[in-house]
Amino acid sequence: MSGELTSQTLKQALAGLAARRFSARELAQAHLDAIAAARALNAYVLETPEQALAMAEASDARRARGEARPLDGVPLGIKDLFCTKGVRSTAGSRILGDFRPTYESTVTANLWRDGAVMLGKLNMDEFAMGSSNETSAFGPVVNPWRSRGSNRPLAPGGSSGGSAAAVAADLALGATATDTGGSIRQPASLTGTVGIKPTYGRCSRWGVVAFASSLDQAGPIAKSVEDAAILLASMSGHDPKDSTSLPVEVPDFPGFVGRSVKGLKVGVPREYRVEGMPAEIETLWAQGVEWLKDAGCEVVEVSLPHTRYALPAYYIIAPAEASSNLARYDGMRYGLRVEAPTLLDTYEATRAAGFGEEVKRRVLIGAYVLSAGYYDAYYLKAQKVRRRIADDFAAVFERVDALVTPTAPSAAFGLGETGADPVAMYLNDIFTVTVNLAGLPALSLPGGLDAQGLPLGLQLIGRSLDEGTLFQLASALEKAANFRARPEPWWRA
């Protein structure tokens, strides 16, 4: 029974709870047991079994009174970037130590308001800086998938690698995640899950530890397109505590799932055909185009001429904002403190001990590009490029309703393969960073397997605040792809 409870989708679980086939407590316990048996994946950095069971029992009581809420009894994993009241929140870093917030992030508060249950906090790249989940102070997450005939541990992608791995391995019915340059979509692609980065401002950033404030956006990782729509509907909403939160109504996202896509026009950006892209990615992309045509879409080639400048612009803007945001971690008010003879020495010793190598690298890059002699040459120029990229999308969206591209340039790669080469790691974001620079919504869903039996993702990019069309198109692709593959549960051995 336990395996049956954890392997179902969120939508199926809600139906089962409503029909009284099982209780929220039984559902939570089944997931807690699965988590305990899957510690080899290192997906969770903190398990909260007592809190999970208490929340589940409260959910069962509401349902018995006929007061069930939209997500009542649904067990979720929470990326450790989200502050959770009274529960350790570290952003995957040593510098936050045993920090226990006295407040709840708006996104998680919305989920608890709707009856969801917290299973624990999920592993992630330190301060969301990474594309492989290898920069975490708690060690790397291991992808539940393995190449055919190989025991080599694979990366789940990052920074939301714990979220993606937990959902793929049935350790949660869904998970919160964040996306600054692809950190929802790339791990979703590498683990055969669905992830959506909504429009910038759709979900509140209040209570989410900041990496790059003009790029960060929260979203869900889930087992299906419909599950992602259900979760996003709860996570979204205007928040007066976040000055970048958009004062707009939350649409009925699940209502778009399954709608006909006949007559929609989808663009294929020619600049996303990059040199050295594996033939399997190219083949999947072409297959995705055919699926959309078969569903009644018109597909046309379009141009986003500034795409090639996106990665360098992103890796100037994001570190610049990170260097500013991470200045607050000084060992004075909370988290790690390394005592030293003077105040300046204490700052330096605390940051040297508390930050990992990748975080130090990005803070140094950010401080450099913001310095007086280089601000105009780097940061200001990168912001002008960002404007051009946004203009490219605006021009294209006058002609088409959405774009279809690959999500990532490869399937899951081995742990340790790219860690020594930061530039190789940064190239994992080549298809995803443009969307963050322009503030647009984008969704990744599994489209098929490569020759080694590893999942590959397709990406849909939409107009600002038009997540509904993405769910509409994604459900058509999901139906056509009929992706049913699951990782073999080697971690239970």
Measured distance CA(431)–CA(384) in Å, rounded: 20
Q: How many CB atoms lie within 10 A of CB 286?
A: 11
Compute the average pLDDT of residues 347-367: 94
| CB 118 within 8 Å of CB 48 | yes
| CB 403 within 8 Å of CB 445 | no
Burial 213-233 (b: 16+ CB within 10 A, else e): ebbbbbbbbbbbbbbbbbbbb
Compute the average pLDDT of residues 53-77: 98
Measured distance CA(60)–CA(115) in Å, rounded: 10
Q: How many CB atoms lie within 10 A of CB 257?
A: 22
Compute the average pLDDT of residues 404-420: 88
What does the pLDDT read at residue 424? 66
Measured distance CA(267)–CA(392) in Å, rounded: 13
Measured distance CA(169)–CA(255) in Å, rounded: 27
Active-site residue set: 79, 159, 183
Q: What is the pLDDT of residues 72-95, one digit of tens each?
A: 999 999 999 999 999 999 999 999
Is the predicted pLDDT of residue 362 greater than 90, yes or no? Answer: yes
Greatest extent of the chain over all pairs of C-alpha atoms, in Å: 70
What does the pLDDT read at residue 420? 62
pLDDT level of residue 373 (50, 70, 90 thresholds): confident
Q: How many CB atoms lie within 10 A of CB 40?
A: 13
Q: What is the pLDDT of residues 187-231, one digit of tens each?
A: 999 999 999 999 999 999 999 999 999 999 999 999 999 999 999
Q: Domains in the chain and their CATH numbers?
A: 2-264+400-492 (3.90.1300.10)
What does the pLDDT read at residue 333? 86
Number of H helices, E strands in the chain: 16, 11
pTM of the predicted model, to two decimals? 0.96
Sheet holding 44-47: strands in order across?
44-47, 117-122, 75-79, 174-179, 217-222, 194-197, 442-449, 455-462, 402-406, 265-269, 298-302
Mean pLDDT across the chain, nearest whole number?
Answer: 95
Is the predicted pLDDT of residue 417 greater than 90, yes or no? Answer: no
DSSP states along 144-209: S---TT----B---SSSHHHHHHHHTTS-SEEEEEESSSTTHHHHHHHT-EEEE--TTSS--TTB-
pLDDT level of residue 419 (50, 70, 90 thresholds): low
What does the pLDDT read at residue 464? 98
Measured distance CA(146)–CA(411) in Å, rounded: 11
Is the predicted pLDDT of residue 58 greater than 90, yes or no? Answer: yes
What does the pLDDT read at residue 426? 65
What does the pLDDT read at residue 407? 96
Of 440 and 426, the structure prediction assigns the larger pLDDT to 440
Residues ≥6 apart with Cβ < 8 Å to 161? 123, 124, 125, 132, 133, 140, 141, 143, 155, 187
Half-sphere exposure (Cβ direction) of 140: Cα atoms closer than 13 Å: 19
* Burial tier of 198 (Cβ tally within 10 Å: 0-12, 13-18, 19+): buried
Q: What is the pLDDT of residues 133-152, one digit of tens each?
A: 999 999 999 999 999 989 99
The residue length of the chain stands at 493
Is the predicted pLDDT of residue 425 greater than 80, yes or no? Answer: no
Is the predicted pLDDT of residue 371 greater than 80, yes or no? Answer: yes
- Distance between first and last Cα of the chain: 19
